[in-house]
Amino acid sequence: MKLSLVVPCYNEAENVRLFTEKVREHLADLDYEIIFVNDGSKDDTIKELKNIKNEKKENITIINFSRNFGKEAGIYAGFQHAKGDYVTVIDADLQQPLEVAREMYDFLEGHEEYDAVAAYQDVRKEGRIITAFKDAFYKIINKLCDIELYANASDFRCMRRTVVEAILSMSEYHRFSKGIFAWVGFDTYYRPYEVQERNAGTSSWSFWSLLKYAMEGVISFSTKPLKVVISAGVFTSVMAILYMIVVIVQKLVFGIEIPGYPTIIVLILLIGGIQLTVMGIIGEYLAKVHIEVKGRPIYIAKEVLHSTREEG
Ligand code: UDP
Ligand code: MG
C-alpha cells in the first residue's frame, strides 16, 4: 500500500460520496486506501459510507465510533489502521483540495530529505475578528510552549510512516494535534494552499469551541502558566510587605491615622481574585492529570469494516 488517506467525518453524509469520487479522480494511478472514521455522526454518514464500501470500487476501511470523540481521536484511530507508506490527513468536506493532497504525496516521493508536508492557509477566508484571534493564538502559544507551531498550518498534511509511528507512540488522551505534529519533530515542508468553501453541511467550530481548543493547546504543551502564577504570587507578596512597611512608618514616625476601610476591601478582593485565578489554573492542570491517569481509551469503535477494490 502506497498511500492511506485518513478522513475524520462528523455529519458529512452529503460530502463523502463526492469526496470519494474526487479521490478516485486524482489518485487513480496509485495504490491507495481511504480510511473513513465516522465520529458519531448524527446524520446518515455511516449509511453512505457503507454504501460506498459495498460498491467495492476502492480499498476502504470504516472505523465507526460508538459516539463523538472528536477529530483528534479520529485521526489517531485512522493512523492505527493505516497501512500505507505515506499517510495523509484530509477533511471530508472538500475544503482541502485533492489536487493539493496529490501534490503533497508527489513532493514527498521526490524529496527524501523531508518527512512530512503540511499545508497552511495562505489567504484566510474567515472573518477579521477570528483571524485576529488566531494570529494572537499563535503568538501566545509559541511564547508559552517549547514547541514551535507554524502559523495557520492545519492538520491537512502528508507524512511518512516513521512520522505516523512517532505520533502513535504519543498515546495521551488530550490530543492537541497541532502540538503533537510539532512535538514529534521531523523535517516538515510547509506549502501554502487555498482553502475551499465547504461542499455541504456546516463547520463544527464556534468561537467558544476555538477558544477552548486554544486553552487546551496551551495546557497540554506548556507548564508556563503555572510559573507565571508563581511570579504573580511573589509579586503580590512583595508589594504587600512594602505596603506594610509604609503603614508602620506612617503610624509610628508621623503618627498618621490610616483610614483603612476602602484599602482593606480593595486588597481583600484583589488577593481573593488572584488566589481564585491561581487555583483555577492549577485546577485545569489537575483535571488533565485526573483524566489522563484513568488511562481511558482515546476512542471506542463500534465496528471496523474493510473492503478491497475489485477490478473492472
Ligand atoms: N470532524 C470530526 N469530529 C468532530 C468535528 C469534526 O471528525 O467532532 C471532522 C469533520 O467531519 C471534517 C473535519 O473534521 O471532516 C473538519 O471539521 P470542520 O469542517 O467542521 O472544521 P473546519 O474545516 O471548519 O475547520
Ligand atoms: Mg471544514
Cell of 28: 487513480
For residue 304, the model assigns a pLDDT of 95
- Cβ–Cβ contacts within 10 Å for residue 164, how many? 23
Of 60 and 263, which is predicted with more confidence? 60
Average pLDDT over residues 137-150: 84
Q: Which of 91, 196, 205 to mutate to test the pocket of ligand 1 (most atoms within 8 A of CB)?
A: 91
For ligand 1, the distance from its centroid to the CA atom of residue 305, given in whole angstroms, is 21
Does the C-beta of 74 come closer than 6 Å to ligand 1?
yes
Asked if pLDDT for residue 227 goes beyond 80, the answer is yes
Task: Give me the pLDDT at residue 47, please.
Answer: 95
Least confident of 97-101, 143-147, 304-308: 143-147
Model confidence at 110: pLDDT above 80:
yes
Ligand 1 centre to CA of 95 (Å) is 10
**What is the arrangement of strands in the sheet containing 32-38, beginning at the earlier edge strand?**
188-193, 116-121, 153-160, 86-89, 3-9, 32-38, 60-65, 301-307
pTM for the predicted model, two decimal places: 0.85
What pLDDT, on a 0 to 100 scale, did the predictor assign at position 67? 96
Neighbours of ion ligand 2 (CB under 5 A): 91, 93, 95
pLDDT per residue as tens digits for the range 5-47: 999 999 999 999 999 999 999 998 999 999 999 999 999 999 9
**Residue 72 Cβ < 6 Å to ligand 1:** no
Q: Which atom of ligand 1 is nearest to the CA of 37?
A: 7
Q: Does the structure show a pLDDT above 70 at 312?
A: no
Ligand nearest to the CA of 9: 1
Q: Which of 93, 152, 216, 299 to mutate to test the pocket of ligand 1 (most atoms within 8 A of CB)?
A: 93
Distance 128 CA to ligand 2 centre (A): 18
For ligand 2, the distance from its centroid to the CA atom of residue 93, given in whole angstroms, is: 6
CA–centroid distance, 29 to ligand 2, in Å, is 27
Taking the CA of residue 203 as reference, the ligand 1 atom at the shortest distance is 20
Ligand number nearest to the C-alpha of 78: 1
How many angstroms separate the alpha carbon of residue 203 from the centre of ligand 2?
6
Q: Which of 35-39, 41-45, 129-133, 275-279 has the lowest mean pLDDT?
A: 129-133
pLDDT tens, residue by residue, 228-254:
888 888 888 888 888 888 888 888 888
Nearest-atom index, ligand 1, CA of 68: 8
